[in-house]
């Protein structure tokens, strides 16, 4: 009877770890897909496509300065697109790789823009899709 119980326990553990690994693989695949879609929209300067990938209100701040802003609506974002995503930032984003946050439905993209410092773009899974939820910069 003990061998049977140990066999069941071992099978259950294998199943649990397989499901956990599959979940991590699925999350990474979803994050990669979201990041590639974001990069493609940025590369094309497709303001509308980028706006669809943002959770509004969108907040951004530059640490150590008074350059904090909150964009409430898609129309405001599109109007200010060139200020947020300068040509240099767009080029960096298109070449960049995201960093997953371990065991979370979030990922970051960190970039160093020589003209304005380091920026971290935060993405979070909301309602089954990944959205850009904010950015923090150190200028």
pLDDT in tens, 61-86: 755 555 577 888 999 889 888 888 88
* Alpha-helical regions (H) of the chain: 2-43, 47-52, 74-84, 87-95
Instruction: Please name which of 77, 79, 94, 91 lies closest in space to residue 135, comparing C-alpha atoms.
Output: 77
Give residue 11's pLDDT. Answer: 47
Query: How is the chain split into domains, by residue range?
Result: 2-138
Which CATH number is associated with domain 2-138? 3.10.450.50
Tell whether pTM > 0.85. Answer: no
pLDDT at 13 over 90: no
| Average pLDDT taken over every residue of the chain | 79
Read off the tokens for 102: 């371990």
């Amino acid at each position: 009877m003990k061998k049977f119980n140990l066999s069941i326990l071992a099978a259950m553990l294998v199943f649990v770890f397989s499901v956990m690994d599959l979940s991590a693989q699925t999350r990474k695949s979803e994050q990669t897909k979201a990041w590639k879609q974001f990069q493609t929209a940025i590369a094309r300067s497709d303001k509308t496509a980028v706006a669809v990938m943002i959770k509004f209100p969108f907040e951004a701040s530059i640490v150590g300065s008074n350059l904090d802003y909150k964009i409430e609506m898609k129309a405001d974002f599109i109007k200010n697109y060139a200020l947020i995503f300068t040509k240099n930032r767009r080029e960096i984003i298109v070449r960049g790789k995201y960093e997953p946050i371990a065991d979370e439905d979030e990922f970051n993209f960190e970039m160093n823009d020589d003209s304005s410092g380091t920026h971290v773009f935060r993405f979070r899974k909301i309602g089954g899709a990944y959205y850009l939820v904010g950015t923090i910069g150190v200028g």
